[in-house]
Amino acid sequence: MTSDLLGAAAAGTWTLGDLTVNRIGFGAMRLPQYGQAFAPGAVPRDREQAIAVLRRAVELGVDHIDTAAFYFSRLRSANELINRALAPYPAGLVIATKVGPSRDPSGEWLPLATPEQLRGQVEENLRQLGRDHLDLVNLRVAGLGSITEHFGVLAGLRDAGLIRHLGISNARPEHLAQAQTVAPVVCVQNAYGFAYRRGQDAFVDTCGEQGVAFVPFFAIAGAGREAGTGGDEHEEVLAIARDHGASPVRVRLAWALRRGPHVLVIPGTGSPDHLEDNVAAGALRLTADELSRLDAVHRAAPER
């Protein structure tokens, strides 16, 4: 398979502060359970399968893993699976996590963290991952107006050595501007993909102009979000996939990567086969005509 030969490096690299990563990463949200993430009564994923997927991802050159302490199901935690599979962590592996949201042990969502609660969330991620510092912490800002106070707490933890770099998630352009008055921002992590959230197009470009990584989540699932892909695929995607002998998923990821060299995709899966297909997207080279056709579909899609 192409992914075995070229791996995640085929898509090129980007620098998060002083950390260089391959542009195809891995999202851990789907690891703890089968089916829809965060669904009540979700069946925990087979532990050995999850561990095998993580180890295979690293073998394929994935060196950017996205996780969070609130990624868990009954009996399974993404952070602890990562710890079990990969510690002692290989040199160059960047683990990014998120703070702000949290869930109680039953899985119910709790109110967004206050600034005073953020240190506890950072320390919980450190404990679960078995680390003495976090490479990258994204403040998930949905539900906040001004983020200056929250981001200031994280900047203080960075100065104390608990965090290396900072980013923001579920953010708008004004949030990026607010955060940048407090501390450097190395990435913006937002929901975005082919024919999904096209209103984000200008923000993607702005991040590139400022040298800030844009990390789309749901780049495959689109409006399916935590439930995953579903429904009929667009004919243009199917036609281009047939021409390349590739899956529609690979075409969607390749399109996202072509939005700019600063775009880092983090597709998540608990399936070894899907993992290899996702990573193989880095080697898929869309032609100018194919990109034009896909862009036309993206621009015409309803805003969701």
- Which has the closest alpha carbon to 23: 46, 7, 40? 7
pLDDT (0 to 100) of residue 221? 66
Tens digit of each residue's pLDDT (9 = 90 or more) over 163-208: 999 999 999 999 999 999 999 999 999 999 999 999 999 999 999 9
Q: Taking residues 50-70, what's their average pLDDT?
A: 98
Catalytic residue of the set 71, 89, 192, 196: 71
pLDDT (0 to 100) of residue 142? 83
pLDDT reading at 20 higher than 90: yes
Active site residue 34: no
What is the Cα–Cα distance from 38 to 267, expressed in whole angstroms? 17
pLDDT reading at 143 higher than 90: no
Q: Which one is predicted more confidently, 84 or 223?
A: 84
User: In the block, which residue shows the tokens 């609660």?
Assistant: 117
pLDDT band at 232; cut points 50, 70, 90? confident
pLDDT band at 155; cut points 50, 70, 90? very high
pLDDT (0 to 100) of residue 6? 64
Percentage of the chain lying above the pLDDT 70 cut: 94
What is the Cα–Cα distance from 105 to 107, expressed in whole angstroms? 5
Q: Which residues contact 46 (CB under 8 A, 6 or more apart)?
A: none
pLDDT (0 to 100) of residue 226? 45
| CB hemisphere CA count around 216 (13 angstroms) | 32
Phi then psi dihedrals of residue 103, to 5 deg:
-130, 150
pLDDT (0 to 100) of residue 263? 98
- For residue 277, the one-letter residue type is D
- What domains are there in the chain, each with its CATH number? 15-232+263-272 (3.20.20.100)
What the block records as the tokens of 151 is 């981001």
Separation of first and last alpha carbons in the chain: 35
Q: DSSP per residue over 73-106, as a string?
A: ETTEEHHHHHHHHHPSPPTT-EEEEEES--B-TT
Can you name the residues that pair with 13 across neighbouring β-strands? Answer: 22
Report yes or no: 204 and 176 within 8 Å, Cβ to Cβ: no
- Which has the closest alpha carbon to 97: 111, 76, 83? 83
